[in-house]
Amino acid sequence: MKTKIKGTVFTLLLSGAGILAMAGCGHKNPSFNKPYRAEVLTLNSVDALGNENWSVEEKELATLEKPDSLEGAHFKVILGGTIEINSNVGSLVEGKSRSENSSGFFRFSSRNGVMVGRDTTSLLALSTFYAFEQVVMKVKETTGFEPTDLIGNSKESYKIFLEPALVDAHSDKKAVLIPKLNAAFNPFSDEFYFFRRSELEVHPFSANIKVIAHEFGHALFKKAFFKGKNDFCVSATQQEIAQRLSDKFFAGRFTNEFAISGLNEGYADFNSYVMTSSPRVLSGAVAGTNDASRALNGPDFTFNQLPSEAVCSGAFYCIGTLFARSLYSAAQTYAAGSKELMAFSRRINEAITATPDILNLPPARDILPSPSASSAQCKRSQKISLSYDGAMTSAFLHAFLKSFPEGEEKSKLCTSFAKFFGDSGFNKEARSVCPS
Amino acid sequence: MSAPLDSLIQLVSLGAAVAMSDRNDSDNMSTRVPQYEMAIQAYSILPWPNVHMRSGLRLGMEGAADESHPLSLEVKESGTRFALESGVVLDGPLLPSASIQALVLRRSLELDTHGTSIVLTPQSKRTEWLFGGAFQVGLGIPIQGGRVLLEPFYRVLVIPSDVRQSSQWGGEVSWAFDELKQ
């Protein structure tokens, strides 16, 4: 009997080892076939009153190429990863991804061949892919750029990090942070970051096409204004700093300037409106917050009021809101989502593309302020200077308008800029480009 | 109990356990998932001194994870699990043990929009079956003359279609119907 029991124990242990070995064969999603379809959370429409229609439904992922790893023709979704951050300005980040060797992965099941997320993370990842795809598919119509022309540095596709960790590149301790409630674009490495989902988000940022279109707007601004390449503002010797003070176009200056950062944000908000028809990029994003000062149709404020945080407390974002509201105001002739609005948006984009070259010509070059001491040292301002930043926006708006086709739209833009930027942010010299 | 089994099974116990596992939500974040179990175990003699075979059945229930999720959407996961286990227990002042388990999990997934106006696909609920195994080590602390056993344990989980959870730790209390026969 004892021998029998001994044999039973060994049999059981061997069976168990076998179970563990088989179980350890690894994770695998089911196979899916083209055209890939997935169940995603999506914003379907926004009505004239701003009411949003969201649903979870089956959609085609037309550009998806590798369903298991969510790699597509234009971008790749990466779960986790670590980002080494040098600095950040609003939703623009300077740094690089240190690791994308994710131990995280997407878990899908198949329902009649449709990809279905088996957990919240995987559902959001599919939703992110779909929303990005919708944005990329509109790029040609709204900007004139081909999606394939957008990425510089010979990269094959954008990387979209979901829930990445951050480490401070300047810290010896290398503490790892898991931020929440934000999204960002890194123009230096063409990476998008959607930070850890939060219970304060109403609709998750990573599936919110308004937020995604805003972040993608930064990629478009990079292509248009920065000619596809943002220069780092690198630290310099005292002698080099002294030289920079008289060089209005030293490398990396505009990447760091408070006002240009604001105009970048404004362009991104306007892009979000053009692509989604919602003038409120942040509405319904974070519970309990008032997005009125950021909304394109929110209560008016002007450039001269910006030092007062009572009207707008978002630093350079407020300059951006003025720029976005100016564009939005001039676009009111066109219905949201209309072909006319798309054509207007393309003209805006063409003008921004020409702006940096015209900035280098008089009179824009003369309106442009010489770099401030902090600008020459690559230090970012934390608050607005009406005179310095006003001269910066004046020069930009002048060069922008000079590139814009003559006609009724240009007159409307002039009127809007004059209304929102006033004499400080759109000064007399800058207005010389407007019809009298 | 028939005579052959009586000669094999020395003791039967009923147990209740609470376990926790860290579920790797993404590369950087894990959330804690509780699990509650009931177990029935039989101790048998083995041809080695102070070594007993312990075999049993477990029925468990996964609790809600403490994960953060957006206000409007969450894939709620809940499940029951069934395990067959077999292992050895060393008799002594403390009772170290090692066992293996074969697991079957029935998991319910529900798309929950928390009362928001998101329109859902008709099939917002579904069920999946998962299979796997576990290796468990524990240390039994006998009290009340060995009739009650407190046993903290640690498990290595291998569930191929859900490798988010790779380990589990917890504690079990079990009540013996009879004392161990020597």
- C-alpha distance from residue A286 to each of A57, A181, A211, A214 (Å): 23, 8, 11, 15
What pLDDT, on a 0 to 100 scale, did the predictor assign at position B1?
Answer: 44
Say if residues A248 and A167 touch (Cβ distance below 8 Å). Answer: no
| Partner A, chain B 66-125, Cβ-Cβ below 8 Å | 67-75, 77, 86, 88, 100-102, 109, 111, 113, 116-121, 123-124
Q: Do A55 and B72 touch (CB under 8 A)?
A: no
CB pair distance less than 8 Å for A200 and B8: no
Edge-to-edge strand list for the sheet holding A108-111:
A52-60, A37-46, A114-117, A108-111
Instruction: Please return the burial class of A3, using the count of CB atoms within 10 Å of its CB with bins 0-12, 13-18 and 19+.
Output: exposed
C-alpha dihedral over A51, A56, A59, A62, to 10 degrees?
80
Is the Cα torsion angle A92, A97, A103, A105 positive or negative in sign?
A: positive
CA distances from B155 to A251, A288, B168 (A): 57, 43, 5
Average pLDDT over residues B102-119: 88
ipTM summary value? 0.87
Round to whole Å and give the CA distance between A300 and A292.
10
Does the beta-carbon distance from B27 to A55 stay under 8 Å? Answer: no
Residue A299 CA to residue B97 CA, distance in Å, equals 70
Phi, psi of A124 (to 5 degrees): -65, -35
What's residue A428's pLDDT? 95
Lowest mean pLDDT among A207-211, B145-149, B165-169, B175-179: B175-179
Question: Got the DSSP string for A100-134?
Answer: ---S----EEEETTEEEESSHHHHHHHHHHHHHHH
Task: Using alpha carbons, select from A116, A78, A331, A394 the residue that is nearest to residue B110.
Answer: A116
Query: In Å, how far are A143, A331, A349, A363, A418 from A405, measured between CA atoms?
Result: 16, 15, 12, 18, 18
Structure tokens at A262: 């604001």
pLDDT of chain A, 436 residues: tens digit per residue: 455 555 555 555 555 555 555 554 556 788 999 999 999 999 998 887 778 889 999 999 999 999 988 999 889 999 888 888 776 656 666 666 666 655 568 899 999 999 999 999 999 999 999 999 999 999 999 999 988 888 755 456 899 999 888 877 776 666 677 777 788 898 888 899 998 887 788 889 999 999 999 999 999 999 999 998 878 888 778 888 889 999 999 988 998 899 999 999 999 999 999 999 998 888 777 776 777 788 898 889 999 999 888 888 768 899 999 999 999 999 999 988 899 999 999 999 999 999 999 999 999 999 999 999 999 988 888 889 999 999 999 999 999 999 999 999 999 999 999 999 999 999 999 999 998 7
* Residues B129 and B105 sit within 8 Å (Cβ to Cβ): yes
Query: Do A120 and A129 form a contact (C-beta atoms < 8 A)?
Result: no
Q: Cβ of B162 under 8 Å from any chain A Cβ? A: yes
pLDDT the model gives residue B118: 84
pLDDT given at position B8 = 67
Contact A257, A392 (CB under 8 A): yes
Q: Are A229 and A281 in contact (CB under 8 A)?
A: no
CB contact under 8 A, B26 and A104: yes
DSSP string, A139-153: HHHHHS--GGGS--T
- Rounded Cα distance between A333 and A409, Å, is 9
Does an H or E element contain A3, and which? Answer: helix A2-23
Half-sphere exposure of A241 toward its Cβ, with a 13 Å CA cutoff?
Answer: 13
- Is residue B141 within 8 A of residue B151, CB to CB? The reply is yes
Q: Which among B27, B68, B102 is the nearest to A199, CB-wise?
A: B68
User: Which of B44, B132, B163 is opposite residue A5, by nearest beta carbon?
Assistant: B44
B101 vs A contacts (CB less than 8 Å): 16
Average pLDDT for B51-70: 89
CB–CB contact B121 A58 (8 Å): yes
Largest CA distance in chain B: 66
- The overall average pLDDT reported for chain B is 88
Inform me whether the C-beta atom of residue B50 falls under 8 Å from chain A C-beta atoms.
Answer: no
B73–A102 CB contact, under 8 Å: no
Residues B35-57, mean pLDDT to the nearest whole number: 93
